[in-house]
Amino acid sequence: MASSHNRWRRAQEHERRYWQERGDVAAIMARRKPHYEAALARITELLPERPVIADVGSGPTCWTRFLPGARVFTDPLMHSYVDRWGKQLPEGLAVAAAGEALPLRGDSCDLVFSVNAIDHCADPGGVVRECVRVVKPGGLVAISVYAHPRVRAAVRRLLEAFGGTDDPHPHSFTRDMLLSLIEGCGLQIVEVLELGAVSFRTRLAFFQRTEPLVLARKGASG
């Protein structure tokens, strides 16, 4: 447990330096927006009027800025994002918090949204369980992750086991692992939006990362 926490801290140091020194929020958003646009439109169709939305591991990009409603953006690095990118952060409550312990009331959100973040966390299962806790009965959870082909994920896990990497992603998911984690936390999968390949140094389709975005609901009885 202590070692996985140390591994997470190293990943977060990498993440913090990236956003402080190289991250260009406007350029990243311009490049990535077409990737998320259709998914954000689909989520909007599924939301009630004036929804309450939690964006977990929002980064400084805060993609839920494009959804209607009241938003809370949570991220363990939020203080450094506010220092560096304050003016570019959207309207909403920005809170420094890890997804494993969200400072939100149970059953309080219409949508809990987390893209490209749970593989950065110390405990992805703990984060999904928190998403389930804070979403209202019948509410929506939307989670994406960069999914590796099975062989690539296995190689990455081996590197992790032998401490051979400081990659900012301490966890390596396949698409199936993401689906079983979400179902294992008691959510009912509504649909999976395939956002397509995510850039990586290969043109070989079978070796590319993809980004599935899973839309799932908490049971109406909680």
- Footprint on this chain of ligand SAM (rule: CB under 6 A): 12, 15, 56-59, 61, 63, 75-77, 98-100, 115-117, 120-122, 127
When the beta carbons of 127 and 195 are compared against ligand SAM, the nearer one is: 127
In angstroms, give the least distance from the CB of 50 to ligand SAM.
23
Alpha carbons 195 and 212: distance in angstroms, whole number: 6
> What's the min distance (Å) between Cβ of 183 and ligand SAM?
21
> What are the backbone dihedrals phi and psi of residue 64, each rounded to the nearest 5 degrees, phi first?
-70, 0
Nearest-approach distance from CB 220 to ligand SAM, in angstroms:
27
Nearest position to ligand SAM, beta carbon:
59
Cβ closest to ligand SAM, residue 102 vs residue 187: 102
Taking the complex as a whole, the smallest distance from the CB of residue 156 to ligand SAM amounts, in Å, to: 16
Q: Which residues touch 49 (CB under 8 Å, ≥6 apart)?
A: none
Nearer to ligand SAM, 24 or 188 (CB): 24
Alpha helices in 18-66 (DSSP H): 25-46
Which CB, 75 or 110, lies closer to ligand SAM? 75
Say if strands 70-75 and 52-56 run parallel, antiparallel, or are unpaired.
Answer: parallel
By residue count, the chain amounts to 222
Question: Which whole-number Å values give the CA distances from 192 to 5, 115, 124, 134, 210, in the listed order?
Answer: 30, 13, 19, 21, 12
> Nearest approach, Cβ of 221 to ligand SAM (angstroms)?
28
Name which of 24 and 151 has its Cβ closer to ligand SAM. Answer: 24
CA 59 to each of CA 62, 85, 89, 97, 185: distance values in angstroms, whole numbers, following the listed order? 6, 10, 10, 11, 24
Count CB atoms within 10 A of the CB of residue 164: 10
